[in-house]
């Protein structure tokens, strides 16, 4: 619990001026609450001076001398004026109540305003920090956690906003109001107060009992919310599959099943939040009943407005504090995952003093590299040297580890054993930014942002001019189809590029890589989605692009890489053959088999 408060404090620290001011106004509004009660008593005392309330005098006798005499003098002065028949004074006296109310209103408004001001900023900071943290976590983390879940974790942060914005005011204001009222009641008559409050210690019991339930159910709510988001995210992004396989009902049923769980957790929270209130009211009224019973027998006892007023007006703040308890438990439950995620360490460590990395003119060296995603080894003892400017083709069966090899080069993952070096620098000694800045990548799966075509190409070189973008597009043979789009380069591509054909997306990705102009080029089936004709054209563009760059090109269609100086054949995570097309064919190994198979499938032997 203390750790939780410390975290809250840290969140609000950048805004501590307003935060503290908010706390001060919270204190003031708590005090003002009691002041309203005192003013009412004072005004009643003045107006009904004939039935002068003995208890106010008792109370006054315990106030500091100066304050008490000022109070009495003011009262007498006004009463004197009143008896003199001045209606104006009566007006002044009765308007004291709205005046104090106004004071209380201003304090409580300012407290809520300032806390809200701090809360929304502190929480946006936290959300941005979480988002940045998650984005900087390695690829492996992001692929392990579903998008829907991660999104709802970032959304969970808003629960904290309510905590800081609303509950902080309650935490400060209500206890002060309760304590001052209890003090007043106690001053008037300690014995009665104790009798009236005898039920309150028992109030703590339901709070303690329900706290744990609320926390557990609160965590449940958040989990189900994440599940709902996951189902929705998957279904909307996979709507093509959902529709073509008639999965709508299945998905909706899954959604409803999640909602049913959500409802049961939610109802548990409602029960736990709402039960203590009535229980406390019953216990409290029990105290009042005992008091009345006592008063009925004690004929000398006189009812006191202030006393009864103080006791009765304590209920609502007590209820608020108790309700706050469950709010707090829910918040803790909802945010524990947020803080857990923030504490997740990256497995890809940035070196404290990164070595400068310049790939131009440097060879890439895979030095006895082994790698596994979990316990299954997908790359075994890879030994490969790619000279600067050399073009190497990587071929092999599906699942043989080609993409994994390039994942290591991009440092999405670190090798389990061995090292990858560019020039003399181990990738682990360079900064991640530097490593990735050396490479341009075109992959099997093209990722486009829901933005204009021009902006999607400019991803390769942020800040590129329109002329540069168009030149790159022309080189990627994308210029013509882009101009045919309704808004040309300013056409929106749709989420993940749905407004474009797969081949068009791929050409945009190639334009990106052209614009990036990096010394190392990684092509992972960059032309796999193009038809034969388009492929020939784009291949030309790629050939242009590869000139002078160190290139690793993964290809399924062997016809596209025959002219490569070096072809590396992988099988089951190992390099099994290397050589030129002619050499490998002559050897009659796996390459030769793949080649004859591919040629017959293509139906054409080049």
- Please report, as ranges, the residues that interact with Mg ion according to CB under 5 A: 403
Q: Determine if 401 is a binding residue for ligand ATP (CB under 6 A).
A: yes
Which does residue 326 touch among ligand ATP, Mg ion, none (CB within 5 to 8 A, set by kind)?
none
In the complex with ligand ATP, the residue whose CB is nearer, 108 or 407, is 407
Residue number, nearest CB to Mg ion: 403
Among Mg ion, ligand ATP, none, the one that 215 touches (CB under a kind-dependent 5 to 8 A) is none
In angstroms, rounded to a whole number, what is the distance separating the alpha carbons of residues 346 and 419?
19
Considering the rule CB under 6 A, would residue 560 count as an interface residue with ligand ATP?
no
Cα separation of the two ends of the chain: 72
Sites for ligand ATP among residues 125-154 (CB under 6 A)? 143
Contact pick of 14, 190, 399, 548 for ligand ATP (by CB under 6 A): 399
Query: Helix or strand or coil: residue 238?
Result: coil
Encoded tokens for 518: 């990096």
Which tokens hold the place of 317?
A: 């703040």
Report DSSP state, residue 496. Answer: G
Distance of closest approach, residue 557 Cβ to ligand ATP, in angstroms: 12
Residue 401 binds which of ligand ATP, Mg ion, none (CB < 5-8 A, kind-dependent): ligand ATP
> Which residue of 34, 227, 331, 403 would you call a contact of ligand ATP, by CB under 6 A?
403
Among 186, 202, 373, 412, binds ligand ATP (CB under 6 A): 373
**What 3-state class would DSSP assign to 103?**
helix
Per the structure block, which two tokens stand in for 253?
């049923």
- Number of residues written out for the chain: 606
* Rama region for 411: left / alpha / beta (φ>0; ψ in -120 to 50; rest): left
Q: Is 404 in the site for ligand ATP (CB under 6 A)?
A: yes
Q: Which is nearer to Mg ion, 325 or 403 (CB)?
A: 403
Please list the residues that pair with 524 across neighbouring strands: 554
556 in Cβ contact with 536 (< 8 Å): no
Site size with ligand ATP, rule: CB under 6 A: 11
Q: Which stretch binds ligand ATP (CB under 6 A): 115-123, 150-158, 395-403, 445-453?
A: 395-403
Q: Cβ 357 to ligand ATP, closest distance in Å?
A: 24
Smallest gap, in angstroms, from Cβ of residue 204 to ligand ATP?
A: 51
| Residue number, 108 or 403, with CB nearest to Mg ion | 403
Among 402, 516, 566, 581, binds ligand ATP (CB under 6 A): 402
Number of H helices, E strands in the chain: 24, 10
Count of Cβ atoms closer than 10 Å to residue 402 Cβ: 23
Told to check if 398 binds ligand ATP by CB under 6 A, we report yes
The rounded distance, in Å, linking the Cα atoms of 235 and 229 is 10
Stretch that binds ligand ATP, among 222-230, 232-240, 263-271, 402-410 (CB under 6 A): 402-410
Q: Quick one: 326 or 403, whose CB is closer to ligand ATP?
A: 403
- Binder of residue 143, out of ligand ATP, Mg ion, none (CB less than 5 to 8 A by kind): ligand ATP
In the complex, what is the shortest distance from the CB of residue 398 to Mg ion, in angstroms, rounded to a whole number?
7
Q: Report the distance separating Cα 510 and Cα 478, nearest Å.
A: 9
By the rule CB under 6 A, 335 interacts with ligand ATP = no
Of residues 191, 201, 197, 187, the one with CA closest to residue 295: 191
Strands (E), 359-512: 364-372, 377-386, 391-396, 417-422, 425-426, 439-442
284 binds, among Mg ion, ligand ATP, none (CB under 5 to 8 A by kind): none
Candidates 146-154, 182-190, 393-401, 504-512: pick the segment binding ligand ATP (CB under 6 A): 393-401
Extract long-range pairs of 234-243: CB within 8 Å, 24+ residues apart.
Answer: 234/146, 234/148, 237/495, 237/496
Q: Cα–Cα distances in Å, from 297 out to 190, 191, 283, 294?
A: 18, 15, 22, 6
Query: Quick one: CA dihedral 48, 53, 57, 63, positive or negative?
Result: negative
Nearer to ligand ATP, 145 or 431 (CB): 145
Q: Does 559 bind ligand ATP (CB under 6 A)?
A: no
Nearer CB in complex with Mg ion: 403/551: 403
Q: Cβ distance 448 to 409 under 8 Å?
A: no
379 CB burial (10 A radius; 0-12, 13-18, 19+): buried
Q: Mark the segment that binds ligand ATP (CB under 6 A) among 65-73, 203-211, 295-303, 392-400.
A: 392-400
Minimum distance of Mg ion from residue 514's CB (angstroms) = 22
**Identified binder of ligand ATP from the candidate list 185, 321, 378, 594, rule CB under 6 A:** 378
Residue found by looking up tokens 């106010």 in the block: 56
Residue span binding ligand ATP (CB under 6 A) among the ranges 187-195, 394-402, 534-542, 585-593:
394-402
Sign of CA dihedral 393, 394, 398, 403: negative
Of 371 and 477, nearer to Mg ion (C-beta) is: 371
Residues of this chain that interact with ligand ATP (CB under 6 A) are: 143, 373, 378, 396, 398-404
């Amino acid at each position: 619990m203390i750790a939780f408060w410390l975290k809250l404090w840290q969140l609000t620290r950048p805004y501590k001026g307003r935060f503290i001011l908010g706390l001060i106004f919270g204190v003031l509004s708590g005090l003002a609450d009691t002041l309203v009660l005192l003013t009412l008593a004072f005004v009643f005392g003045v107006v009904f001076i004939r039935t002068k309330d003995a208890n106010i005098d008792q109370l006054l006798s315990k106030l500091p001398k100066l304050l008490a005499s000022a109070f009495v003098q003011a009262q007498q002065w006004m009463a004197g004026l009143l008896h003199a028949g001045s209606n104006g004074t009566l007006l002044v006296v009765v308007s004291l109540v709205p005046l104090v109310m106004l004071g209380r209103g201003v304090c409580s408004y300012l407290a809520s305003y300032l806390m809200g001001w701090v809360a929304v900023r502190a929480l946006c900071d936290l959300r941005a920090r979480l988002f940045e943290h998650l984005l900087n976590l390695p690829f492996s983390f992001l692929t392990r956690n579903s998008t829907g879940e991660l999104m709802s974790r970032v959304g969970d942060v808003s629960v904290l906003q309510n905590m800081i914005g609303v509950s902080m005011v309650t935490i400060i204001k209500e206890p002060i109001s309760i304590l001052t009222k209890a003090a007043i009641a106690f001053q008037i008559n300690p014995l009665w107060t104790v009798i009236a409050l005898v039920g309150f210690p028992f109030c703590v019991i339901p709070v303690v009992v329900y706290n744990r339930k609320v926390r557990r159910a609160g965590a449940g709510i958040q989990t189900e919310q994440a599940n709902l988001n996951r189902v929705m995210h998957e279904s909307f992004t996979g709507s093509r599959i959902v529709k073509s396989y008639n999965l709508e009902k299945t998905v909706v049923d899954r959604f409803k099943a999640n909602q049913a769980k959500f409802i049961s957790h939610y109802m548990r929270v409602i029960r736990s939040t709402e039960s203590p209130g009535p229980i406390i009211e019953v216990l409290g009224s029990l105290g009042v009943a005992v008091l009345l019973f006592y008063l009925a027998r004690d004929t000398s006892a006189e009812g006191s407005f202030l006393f009864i007023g103080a006791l009765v007006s304590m209920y609502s703040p007590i209820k608020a504090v108790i309700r706050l308890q469950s709010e707090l438990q829910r918040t803790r439950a909802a945010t524990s995952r947020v803080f857990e995620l923030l504490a997740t360490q990256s497995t890809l460590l940035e070196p404290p003093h990164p070595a400068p990395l310049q790939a131009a003119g440097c060879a890439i060296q895979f030095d006895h590299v082994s790698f596994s995603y979990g316990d299954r080894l997908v790359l075994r003892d890879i030994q490969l040297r790619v000279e600067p400017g050399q073009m190497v083709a990587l071929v092999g069966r599906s699942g043989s580890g080609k993409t994994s090899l390039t994942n290591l080069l991009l440092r999405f993952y670190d090798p389990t054993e061995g090292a990858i070096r560019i020039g003399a620098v181990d990738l682990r000694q360079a900064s991640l930014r530097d490593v990735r800045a050396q490479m341009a990548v075109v992959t099997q799966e093209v990722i486009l942002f829901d933005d204009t075509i021009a902006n999607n190409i400019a991803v390769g070189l942020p800040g590129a001019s329109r002329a540069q973008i168009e030149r790159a597009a022309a080189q990627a043979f994308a210029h013509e189809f882009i101009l045919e789009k309704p808004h040309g380069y300013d056409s929106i591509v749709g989420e993940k590029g749905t407004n474009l054909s797969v081949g068009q997306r791929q050409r945009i990705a190639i334009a990106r890589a052209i614009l990036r102009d990096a010394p190392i080029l990684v092509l992972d089936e960059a032309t796999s989605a193009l038809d034969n004709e388009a492929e020939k054209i784009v291949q030309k563009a790629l050939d242009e692009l590869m000139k002078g760059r160190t290139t690793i090109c993964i290809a399924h269609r062997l016809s596209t890489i025959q002219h490569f100086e070096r072809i590396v054949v992988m099988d089951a995570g190992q390099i099994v053959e290397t050589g030129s097309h002619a050499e490998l064919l002559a050897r009659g190994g796996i390459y030769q088999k793949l080649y004859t198979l591919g040629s017959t499938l293509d139906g054409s032997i080049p």
